[in-house]
Structure 1
């Protein structure tokens, strides 16, 4: 026959109340003496022993957990202390930099104040008399003298700049021109025509290479290059001069015109 008290022990894994435990033990002994069963007593004793051991193991685990938790807390506290020390050092360095910056700003302000005071014009003070308010001229000549001095300096610098600019060689605008000189027919002497073209000379004109380019029916045109200064030589004038050789030249066309 199963023991109700044994079933009660099996249903509960941990005894948390000492009074409950003492009452259960008292009931157990009463039940044993009344029933006189040996096998039930042994089973109940075994269950109680198991319950005690389980309680002991649970307490030991709680101690271990508390020890680990305490170690973790200590580690965190140590890390926070190290971080606090580092932040304290950074704050001290920032304070030092701030003080240095303030000192530098003060020294600069003092130096600037000294320069402005030293450069300011000193007013003339009468030796024996104090000027009256009516005698004070709000439009004093000091400002006019300063304006005159600034104007003189500006004019001097402009003159120096103009002198330097006049010494620099002026850029000469030049162009590279290729002309197509066409003859009347295939019997035109192209060598004589080229010689006539090259006889045209003036300041700013420089003839270059020339070649014969076939057109049609045995007729060739003379393609000749030249370099001209834009201010001295006009292309219209040059073509007119070439076309004056009407014995050889039929027409002149500008094949290419490029600025150099």
Structure 2
């Protein structure tokens, strides 16, 4: 509480000095001028009254400061209690965590994990002549041993060939877009496309086609095909298509992509 608020709640006679002065003049007028001793006494009384006022103000201000200090101390105590509570909760959580870690370390499942990770690699020592296929054949042995070794070798080769035959062979394919250009704008493009599609061979599959304007009313045939790389090449396609000399002027590869 500030000094002004304290003064606002107190009943103080601010004009007491004026009334004292008026009272003194009144008595001087009735009884005549006062003696110097009376004037000194009056001045002392006035000074004493002023000192009492100052003491009252100081006490009120000190009282407000003490109250503020008390409120601050109470807030600090509450904050300190809250911090103590948080620290206790953290300690309890830490103890629980430590107990769980100890239990996991003592459990057999946790103990088996590092053992599995740190398991040494077994090294198989190959003794001379035990697992070597070449040592199975005795060059200085009898004919029966030679026949047995040959039979075993043939069985292994047959088993390997059968295993390899079961695996599907990976066929490399490519997608090719060809630009087939006619001689002029009077060329029958439908007939030209039929001639191109009449080229048939193993590993060739024709796809979609369209006519693309070139200029001066001339259109080229752009046709897509899928080929097997081991069976069909672009050179063979160009050679077979350019055989239709009445319709085809040239063949160009517009795009070539592996599938």
Q: Which digits, 9 at most, give the CA deviation of each residue in 1:72-112, with x for residues without a partner?
A: 22212211221121111111111101111110111111125
Q: Structure 1 unaligned runs (5+)?
A: 1-36, 121-141, 149-162
Q: 1:168 to 1:186 in 2, by over 3 A?
A: closer
TM-score by length of 1: 0.56
Aligned residues of 2:189 and 2:221 also touching (Cα < 8 A): no
How far does residue 171 in structure 1 lie from its aligned partner after superposition? Answer: 8.7
How far does residue 200 in structure 1 lie from its aligned partner after superposition? Answer: 0.8
The aligned counterpart of 2:64 is 68
Q: Following superposition of structure 1 onto structure 2, how do residues 90-109 of structure 1 map, counting pairs within 5 Å?
A: 90-109=86-105
Q: Structure 2 unaligned runs (5+)?
A: 1-32, 125-162
The aligned counterpart of 1:128 is none
In angstroms, what is the RMSD of aligned CA positions? 3.8
CA distance in 2, matches of 1:92, 1:211: 84
The aligned counterpart of 1:253 is 252
Query: Is 1:56 matched with 2:56?
Result: no
Q: Which digits, 9 at most, give the CA deviation of each residue in 1:31-79, with x for residues without a partner?
A: xxxxxx7354444333212100011111112221232232222212211
Compare 37-46 and 93-102 and name the one that shifted more: 37-46
Aligned residues of 1:206 and 1:228 also touching (Cα < 8 A): yes
Aligned residues of 2:180 and 2:248 also touching (Cα < 8 A): no
How far does residue 212 in structure 1 lie from its aligned partner after superposition? Answer: 6.5
Aligned residues of 1:213 and 1:221 also touching (Cα < 8 A): yes
How far does residue 188 in structure 1 lie from its aligned partner after superposition? Answer: 4.5
The aligned counterpart of 1:225 is 223
TM-score by length of 2: 0.56
Q: Following superposition of structure 1 onto structure 2, how do residues 31-42 of structure 1 map, counting pairs within 5 Å?
A: 38=34, 40-42=36-38
CA distance in 2, matches of 1:252, 1:114: 71
Compare 65-74 and 102-111 and name the one that shifted more: 65-74
Aligned residues of 2:174 and 2:227 also touching (Cα < 8 A): yes
CA distance in 1, matches of 2:120, 2:102: 31
Q: 1:107 to 1:167 in 2, by over 3 A?
A: farther
The aligned counterpart of 1:182 is 182
How far does residue 189 in structure 1 lie from its aligned partner after superposition? Answer: 4.3
